[in-house]
């Protein structure tokens, strides 16, 4: 028995796993899971998610900022602002009672200045409302956009890996 026969016998004994393949990420199942979880979102969030997906559809091409190694924060903020303006325009007529109640509470006279006695409050941050409260809708849009971009970047990398062979 020579070395080549011994090698051949050892190779024949090895079984190469047929499933999962190297680099196989089961993206179809992940896509189904993501779609199902999105269907569980509340109706207002589903409306925002549709707008986010439309913007991401426009950005899904090679060389897009969505697929940059480090996407530019300023450019992403302009996308968030664009989605926010679209969503605000569609839901401006549907101001919730909760928002009205919250604004009444915020505008009610307090026996003290909420920044402290004899102190002036700093101007609100750009991503906050004029009264200084956080803009939860903008924060939600930003979170949904980044999550959708992450999902599409993963899918893009997976497809790119398989098309290079």
Q: Where are the domains of the chain?
A: 43-89+127-165
- Helix, strand, coil share of the chain (percent; to 5): 60, 0, 35
Q: Mind listing the pLDDT tens digit of every residue in the chain (165 residues)?
A: 566 666 666 656 655 555 555 555 577 888 899 999 999 999 999 999 999 999 999 999 888 999 999 999 999 999 999 999 999 888 765 555 455 545 555 555 545 456 667 777 766 666 566 666 678 899 999 999 999 999 999 888 877 665 655
Instruction: Give the span between the Cα atoms of 118 and 130, in whole angstroms.
Output: 21
CA atoms 99, 100, 102, 106: torsion sign? positive
**How buried is 67 (Cβ within 10 angstroms: 0-12 exposed, 13-18 middle, 19+ buried)?**
middle
Instruction: Give the span between the Cα atoms of 49 and 165, in whole angstroms.
Output: 34
């Amino acid at each position: 028995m020579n070395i080549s026969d011994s090698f051949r016998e050892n190779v024949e004994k090895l079984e190469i796993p047929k499933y999962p393949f190297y680099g196989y990420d089961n993206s179809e199942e992940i896509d189904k899971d993501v779609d199902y979880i999105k269907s569980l979102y509340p109706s207002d969030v589903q409306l925002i998610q549709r707008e986010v997906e439309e913007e991401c559809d426009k950005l899904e091409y090679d060389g897009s900022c969505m697929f940059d190694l480090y996407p530019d924060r300023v450019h992403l903020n302009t996308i968030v602002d664009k989605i926010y303006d679209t969503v605000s325009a569609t839901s401006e007529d549907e101001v919730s009672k909760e928002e009205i109640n919250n604004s009444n509470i915020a505008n009610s006279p307090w026996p003290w200045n909420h920044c402290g006695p004899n102190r002036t409050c700093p101007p609100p941050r750009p991503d906050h409302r004029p009264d200084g409260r956080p803009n939860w809708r903008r924060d939600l849009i930003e979170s949904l956009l980044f999550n959708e971009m992450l999902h599409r970047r993963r899918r893009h990398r997976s497809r790119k890996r398989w098309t290079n062979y």
